[in-house]
Amino acid sequence: MAVHQESRRSAHMMEISAVEAAETAPRHGAVMTPLAARAVAVVRITLGFVFLWAFLDKAFGLHYATGSGKGWIDGGSPTKGFLSGVQAGPLRSFFHAIAGTGWADTLFMLGLLGIGLALISGVALRVTAVAGTALMAMMWAAEWPLAQHLTTGAPTGSSNPLIDYHVLYALAMILFAASYAGNTWGLGRIWARLPFVRDNRWLLQ
């Protein structure tokens, strides 16, 4: 057992070393240059703030998308207005049924907060990519940009009936996880060395 655990730790340290070497390599190919790594880090942190700001606005009613006094802490629902207003799509009845429920509000707000903090800090980016893609897919389905395009020829909130910001955000989060983006201007390396992360590789960034 001890030999097996030591073997796992050695393999993991080799992976960390490979990532560190990749980050500093200036060659073309699958490895990013230092400048590219910094550029991706800027996009990562910026997108993280988008999610974090959405959480703060909906939680405290900062009078942007959420009016003053209508925040989550004031008893407002961050999902009721949006989900109850879904007018088309195969999940329309499902969204109407869960609109404003306590568990839907809680999961949505925890998702915004968790994704925002993870992206800004650069940790758990694999889990974040999965959770963020799921959240973006649900929001895309709720807005259903195909609806008006198919019925009237006019787009719904987007000039493209298929690709909108939800898809782009999801793809960006997948890119961050695949490129170890948390190692640059983030806590990715520190996160990877934590014992519980070393023993649960699915938690790696």
Residue 89 has pLDDT above 50, yes or no: yes
User: Once rounded to an integer, what is the mean pLDDT over residues 195-203?
Assistant: 89
- Sequence-distant (≥ 6) Cβ neighbours of residue 1 within 8 angstroms: none
Q: What pLDDT is attached to residue 28?
A: 39
Residue 15 has pLDDT above 60, yes or no: no
Q: Is residue 67 situated within a structural domain?
A: yes
**Does the residue 25 lie in any domain?**
no
Q: Is residue 46 part of a domain?
A: yes
Q: Which of 78-87, 155-164, 195-204: highest mean pLDDT?
A: 78-87
Q: Does residue 21 have a pLDDT over 50?
A: no
Alpha-carbon distances of 18 from 6, 10, 25, rounded to whole Å = 18, 12, 10
Within a domain: 41: yes
pTM of the model: 0.82
> In the chain, how long is the greatest CA-to-CA distance?
66
Residue 17 within any structural domain of the chain: no
Question: What is the rounded average pLDDT of the residues 54-77?
Answer: 94
If one counts the domains in the chain, the total is: 1
Q: Residue 8: its pLDDT value, please?
A: 57
| Burial of residue 174 (number of CB atoms within 10 Å: 0-12, 13-18, 19+) | middle
The token pair that represents 2 in the structure block: 């001890």
For residue 97, is pLDDT > 80? Answer: yes
pLDDT at residue number 22: 41
Residue 116 neighbours by CB under 8 Å, 6+ apart: 48, 49, 50, 51, 52, 53, 54, 55
Q: What is the mean pLDDT of residues 17-44?
A: 69
Q: Is residue 20 in a domain?
A: no
Instruction: Please state the rounded mean pLDDT for residues 86-93.
Output: 91
The answer to whether 84 and 65 are in contact (CB under 8 A) is no
113 within some domain: yes
Q: Which residue range forms the structural domain that includes residue 116?
A: 32-203
* CA 33/CA 23 separation, integer angstroms: 7
CB burial of residue 12 (10 Å; 0-12, 13-18, 19+) = middle
Q: For residue 99, tell me if it sits in a domain.
A: yes
Give me the percent of the chain exceeding a pLDDT of 70. 78
Concatenated DSSP letters for 110-138?
A: HHHHHHHHHHHHT-SHHHHHHHHHHHHHH
- Report whether pLDDT(93) > 80: yes
